[in-house]
Copies of this chain bind each other. A is one copy, B any other.
């Protein structure tokens, strides 16, 4: 059976302002010194598993040009433009319906476009196991990440001790849980039965479509209509009408928490969701003073500081535990304790109508 991949690339990534903007969100940025953008990395590391012509990108219509520019080898017809944001369930149904026009059935990997993986071989072998389990029966597989510490910013997957038939690496999912507080997260880790929810899924087109038909019938029927119109003159009209009518719903809530035959495969391959500017020092090398420095920077006695320079000189003198990001029209200076508040800057800019800076 063919293996296909769907890369979800519609997100905004406000937490990487001022580098990320509405016009160029996080997945289209490079946050590593190699210059490769997040979505380029996502595609490249899939190539041992999926042919380029079977990789599909679902994104906001505003980013079609960016996808073409950054991924010129992806066939144009594989770049699917959502007319509006409706969370992951409609996105996946849309892609599944389009792929089902190309293949009677196929394995479908569903992957975020803005995560980093350090151990790409381990990642590939984990996905291979997931493909094996996802090809059997009507299994829905999600990749869980073995936690490294009690993170409170992620959802968790609670797995039971039952494994999938013939595969001792795939555990039945007991439940999905929301972001915990710190004591709860510590309990999760101590129990040895919780994994981080990575948002990566593997299943057959036929399996996920059957689940949509049962659990989200309105999304199912809309997606079928979109799939039928794909390649015809009426496609844009049908897509616009049907997609806009979809509820905004995550695949976790809409399908995974309600379906049968949900398995998780624990993975450990240096996964990082790159959720805020704090990630930059995690995913890059730091110097002896624990600084990450990129660009034209003079540091005098600064420690544990992340500096992403732009075109101008940045002089950092005696500062500690802050993040400095320079761009042509805005510079961010942010305490490491307050990276979530970068969103408040964007909110203020929107209030002030300064959309050119957002």
Chain A: residues with CB nearer than 8 A to chain B?
17-18, 298, 300-301, 312-320, 322, 324, 326, 328-335, 337-339, 341-342, 344-345, 348-349, 354, 357
B301 touching A345, Cβ below 8 Å: no
Which residues does chain B contribute within 8 Å of A314, judged by CB atoms?
A: 330-331, 333
| Given A319-B322, A319-B335: A313 touches B342 (CB 8 Å cut-off) | no
Considering the complex, give the chain B residue whose CB is closest to the CB of A357: B313
A301 touching B18, Cβ below 8 Å: no
| Given A312-B329, A312-B331, A331-B331: A318 touches B337 (CB 8 Å cut-off) | yes
B333 touching A333, Cβ below 8 Å: yes
Which residues does chain B contribute within 8 Å of A335, judged by CB atoms?
A: 317-320
| Given A313-B357, A319-B322: A300 touches B333 (CB 8 Å cut-off) | no
Which residues does chain B contribute within 8 Å of A333, judged by CB atoms?
A: 314-317, 319, 322, 324, 333
| Given A298-B345, A300-B344, A357-B313: A318 touches B338 (CB 8 Å cut-off) | yes
Which residues does chain B contribute within 8 Å of A348, judged by CB atoms?
A: 298, 300
Which residues does chain B contribute within 8 Å of A18, judged by CB atoms?
A: 313, 315
Which residues does chain B contribute within 8 Å of A316, judged by CB atoms?
A: 333-334
Q: Which 8 A-B pairs have the closest CB atoms?
A: A318-B338, A318-B335, A317-B334, A313-B330, A315-B345, A300-B344, A315-B332, A300-B341
A317 touching B300, Cβ below 8 Å: no
Considering the complex, give the chain B residue whose CB is closest to the CB of A305: B333
Instruction: Give A315 to B318 CA distance when docked, in angstroms.
Output: 19
Chain B nearest Cβ from A328, distance in angstroms: 7
Considering the complex, give the chain B residue whose CB is closest to the CB of A352: B298
Considering the complex, give the chain B residue whose CB is closest to the CB of A339: B317
A317 touching B330, Cβ below 8 Å: no
Chain B nearest Cβ from A277, distance in angstroms: 10
Instruction: Give A103 to B57 CA distance when docked, in angstroms.
Output: 86
User: What would 6 A/B residue contacts be, using CB atoms closer than 8 Å?
Assistant: A301-B338, A314-B331, A315-B342, A317-B332, A317-B334, A322-B333
A349 touching B298, Cβ below 8 Å: yes
A312 touching B338, Cβ below 8 Å: no
Chain B nearest Cβ from A306, distance in angstroms: 12
Instruction: Give A203 to B53 CA distance when docked, in angstroms.
Output: 89
Instruction: Give A319 to B335 CA distance when docked, in angstroms.
Output: 5
Instruction: Give A328 to B328 CA distance when docked, in angstroms.
Output: 10
A312 touching B330, Cβ below 8 Å: yes
B341 touching A317, Cβ below 8 Å: yes
B300 touching A345, Cβ below 8 Å: yes
Instruction: Give A331 to B338 CA distance when docked, in angstroms.
Output: 21
Q: Which of B315, B328, B339 contacts A312 (CB 8 A)?
A: B328
Chain B nearest Cβ from A302, distance in angstroms: 8
Which residues does chain B contribute within 8 Å of A339, judged by CB atoms?
A: 317
Considering the complex, give the chain B residue whose CB is closest to the CB of A338: B318
Which residues does chain B contribute within 8 Å of A324, judged by CB atoms?
A: 333
Which residues does chain B contribute within 8 Å of A344, judged by CB atoms?
A: 300, 317
Instruction: Give A329 to B322 CA distance when docked, in angstroms.
Output: 21
Q: Which of B298, B317, B342, B345 contacts A338 (CB 8 A)?
A: B317
Considering the complex, give the chain B residue whose CB is closest to the CB of A17: B315
Which residues does chain B contribute within 8 Å of A313, judged by CB atoms?
A: 18, 329-331, 349, 354, 357
Instruction: Give A345 to B317 CA distance when docked, in angstroms.
Output: 8
